[in-house]
Amino acid sequence: MSIFRKQLIPSIIIVILALFLFTIFVIGQLSKYDRSLTVQNLVRSANLVSTVLGPSLTAKDTGQVQDLVARLGEKSGIRITVIDKYGVILGDSDKDPREMENHSERPEIKEAINGRTGESIRYSNTLQQELFYIAVPVLDRGDNVDYIVRTSLPLSILQQTILPIEKRIIYVSLIIAIIAAALLFLLSKSLTKSLKSIINISEELAHGNLSVDIPISEQKGEIPKISIALNRMARRLNELFKQLSSEKNQLEAVLSAMSEAVLVLSQDGKAIITNNALLDMFNIKDDPEKKPYWEILRNREVTEVIENVLSERRPDTKEIFYLYPEERYYLLNVIPLESPDKEVIVVMFDITDFKRLEKIKADFIANVSHELRTPLTAIKGYSETLEDGAYENTEELRHFIGIIKRHTDRLINIVSDLLVLSEVESRDYLSGSSPDSDFEWIDVEEIITSSLEAIKSKASEKGLTVSFNNRADHHNIKGNRFLLEQMFLNLIDNAVKYTPDAGTIGIELSNPEGELNIRVFDTGIGIPKEHLPRIFERFYRVDKTRSRKIGGTGLGLSIVKHIVILHGGTVEVESEEGKGSSFTITLPQ
C-alpha cells in the first residue's frame, strides 16, 4: 500500500468515526431534550385537567368527568385518563372507563399513588400501541392523594416530530464528512508528495549518494524543517564519510606497505582485517574475511597463543616455525585491543633472514675456529717437538720448520682473505661514506693481464694453456682497482689450482647491451651439481681434504661474490663434474 493510501484511509476513517459519534451524541441529546419538553407539556396538561375537573370530581359526578375528559382529549390531542387512588378509572378520553381494568398496578400509577409524578413508556393493550405516560397526583387539603390525572402521547407522534431533525443532522454530517474527506485528500496528496521526496532523498543517502540535492520549500511547517535537517545531515555525513574514507585509505596504504603480516580478529576469533603480506606469507587465495583464525594460519602453536590471548586478554609473543609453503621463521605478537568490541591484533614478523644470519654467524665462527685451529695446532705441536730436542737433528729440523712455515702461510692467507671479505662487506658502513666513494675508471683488460702475469709461473709448472680473448669494444668500468684485482686473482688462482696438468684455463671479455661480461673458465675437476648453490658461502668446500691439500682457505668465491655485488653486478656459475667450470660476471659500464 502506498504512503498516500496509508495516510488518507486512516484519516478518513477517523473523521467519519468522529462525525458518526458526534451525530449519535447530538441525536441522543436532542431526543433527551424532546422527551423533557414532552414531559413538561404532559405535566402542564395534567395540571390543567385537574383544575378543570376539580368541581366535577368534588361532586363525584363521573358522567360529567367523562364528558369533560373526552372533550379535553379531543381538543388537545392528548389521551387523558382520570384514576382514583385505588386504581379505578373515573374517565378516559379514548375509551369507556367501564370497560377498562384497574390501573393500580401500572408503574406510573404506583408512583403517583405514592405522591410522586409517575413516568413510563410501555405498550397499551387498550389502544394497541406504545405510549408515553405521565401520571400526576392531585392532593386533597390534607396533602393526601385524592385522585390521579394521567396524560399520554403515542411514541409515533414523538418520533415523527424529531425524525426530520435527525435526518437534517445526518445530512449535515454526511456533507461535513465529504468536505473533510476532500480536504484530507488534498492535504494528504500534498503531504505525501513531500514525504515521497524526503523518502527518495533518504534512500539516496542510504545508498551513499551524500551529494544529493535536497530542495527546501519556502512554506512554513514541519516538512521544510525536515528538509533542512536532512540537508545538514547529508553535509555532515559527507564530511564524516570523506574523513573515514581518507582514514581507511591511509590504513590500507600502511597495511599494504607493511612487510609484516597483520590480522585483526573479532572477539569470537574471526578475521576482520588482513593485509597483503599475510596473504603472500601463507599463500592464501580466498578472501579470509570472517573466517576463523585457525583456518587462516593453520598452525597449532599459533592457535594456542591466540586462544590464550582471547581468553585471558594479555599480550603474548612467541617464535613460530612453519614448514609450509616453505620453511620460514616468524615472530608472533598477539595483542588484545582495549576497545568495546574486544578485538585482537596478530602481527607476524618474518625473521627467517635473521635466523639465517644467526646460523651464518654461528657457522662462520665455527668454521673460522676450525680453520685456525688446524694450523695453530700443527704449529704448536711441531714447536713443542723442536723444544723437546728435535732441533739437534738437522734433517728433522728443516722438515719441522717447513711444516710450521706452510701452516703459518695458511694462517696468513686465511687472515688476509678474512680482512678482504670484511672490508668488502663493511664498505658502506665506513666513515658514513657511500660504498663507491673511492671508485675510479679502470681498464679491465689491464687488470686481467696483470692477474694472468701473477699466476703465470703456477700455470707453467702444471703445463696449463692460458688464453685471453678480448671481444669487448669498451672495457672500462668504474670500480675499485684493489678489489677487482682480488676478484680476478681468486677466480684465476682457483682455475689453476683445480685444473689437472696440461689442462686449459681462459678468460673471455665482451660487452653486449652496454654491460661488461667477463667469463673465466677451465677444464678442471668441475663441481658436482648438488654443491653449486652453496659454493659462494664462507669456508664452503666441495672436497675439504683436497682443498686443504692445495692450500685453499674456502673464502675465495665468497670474496668474489661480495666484490661483484659491491660493483652492482651479478655472478653465475656453470660446471660439470670432470669437465670443468665456467664463472660469468656481468658488470655495469
| pLDDT surpassing 50 at residue 431 | no
The answer to whether the beta carbons of residues 461 and 421 sit under 8 Å apart is no
In whole numbers, what is the pLDDT of the chain averaged over residues? 80
What Å distances lie between residue 557 and 20, 55, 571, CA to CA?
Answer: 110, 161, 10
| Proportion of the chain in helix, strand, coil states, percent, rounded to 5 | 55, 20, 25
> Which DSSP state fits 265?
E
Question: Residue 350 and residue 278: Cα distance in Å, rounded?
Answer: 10
Domain boundaries, the chain: 3-162, 208-257, 258-346, 355-422, 429-588
pLDDT over 90 at 508, yes or no: yes
Query: For 257-266, what is the mean pLDDT?
Result: 85
User: What are the angstrom distances between the C-alpha of 45 and each of 32, 185, 406?
Assistant: 20, 54, 163
- Provide the pLDDT for residue 433: 45
SS3 154: strand
Q: Please write the tens of the pLDDT for every residue from 200-209.
A: 667 766 666 6
Return the half-sphere exposure (C-beta side, CA atoms, 13 A cut-off) of residue 127.
20
The residue among 175 and 130 whose pLDDT is bigger is: 175
pLDDT digits (tens, 9 = 90+) for 145-171: 888 999 988 877 766 667 777 788 888
CA neighbor of 470 nearest in space, from 437, 438, 517: 517
Q: What is the mean pLDDT of residues 434-463?
A: 84
Is it the case that residue 216 has pLDDT exceeding 70? no
Question: What integer is the mean pLDDT of 418-444?
Answer: 66
Count the neighbouring beta carbons within 10 Å of the beta carbon of residue 354: 12
Specify the pLDDT at position 14: 82
- As a whole number, mean pLDDT of residues 254-259 equals 79
Q: Is 48 left (phi over 0), alpha (psi -120 to 50) or beta?
A: alpha
What value does the mean pLDDT take over residues 213-242? Answer: 68
d(CA 565, CA 578): 29
Looking at CATH, the fold of the domain delimited by 429-588 is given as Heat Shock Protein 90 (3.30.565)
572 close to 581: Cβ distance less than 8 angstroms = no
The one-letter amino acid code at 401 reads I
CA distance 239 to 250: 16
Cβ neighbourhood burial of 113 (10 Å; 0-12, 13-18, 19+):
buried
Q: In the CATH hierarchy, which top-level class contains the domain 258-346?
A: alpha beta
**What's the average model confidence in pLDDT over 470-499?**
88
Beta pairing, strands 440-443 & 328-336: unpaired
Q: Is residue 135 within 8 Å of residue 109, measured between CB atoms?
A: yes
Lowest mean pLDDT among 195-199, 265-269, 533-537: 195-199
DSSP secondary-structure letter at 53? H
- Pick the residue with more confidence: 8 or 217? 8
Residue 480, SS3 per DSSP = coil
Q: Which helix (H) or strand (E) holds 49?
A: helix 3-59
Please give the residue that has the higher pLDDT: either 40 or 198: 40
pLDDT level of residue 430 (50, 70, 90 thresholds)? very low
How far is Cα 85 from Cα 139, in angstroms, rounded to an integer?
A: 10
Q: Give yes or no for residue 465 having a pLDDT over 50.
A: yes
Provide the phi-psi class of 89: left if phi over 0, else alpha when psi is between -120 and 50, else beta: beta
For 543-571, what is each residue's pLDDT tens digit?
A: 655 455 555 567 778 888 888 988 889 99
Domains 3-162 and 258-346 share a fold: yes
pLDDT of residue 363: 66
CATH 1.10.510.10 applies to domain 3-162: no
Q: Is the distance from CB of 507 to CB of 520 less than 8 angstroms?
A: yes
Supply the pLDDT for residue 437: 64
- Top CATH class of 355-422 equals mainly alpha
Q: Is the pLDDT of residue 1 over 60?
A: no
* 131 vs 79: CA distance, rounded Å: 10
- CA dist 76 and 552 (Å) reads 156
What type of residue is 288?
P
Query: 535 is written with which cell numbers?
Result: 659454493
Q: What is the dihedral of CA 369, 371, 373, 376, to 10 degrees?
A: -140
User: Is residue 471's pLDDT more than 60?
Assistant: yes
Residues 92-114 have pLDDT tens digits of 888 888 888 888 888 888 888 88
The Cα-based distances of 398 to 218, 381, 386 in angstroms read 119, 15, 10
> Does position 451 have pLDDT exceeding 50, yes or no?
yes
User: For residues 481 and 439, is the Cβ–Cβ distance under 8 A?
Assistant: no
pLDDT at 366: 66
Grid coordinates of 189: 496528496
Which of 310, 376, 386 has the alpha carbon at shortest distance from 346? Answer: 310
What band does 522 get if pLDDT is binned at 50, 70 and 90? very high
Radius of gyration over every alpha carbon of the chain, rounded to an integer in angstroms? 63
Residue 202 has phi, psi (to 5 degrees) of -60, -40
Q: pLDDT-based confidence at 534, cuts 50/70/90?
A: confident
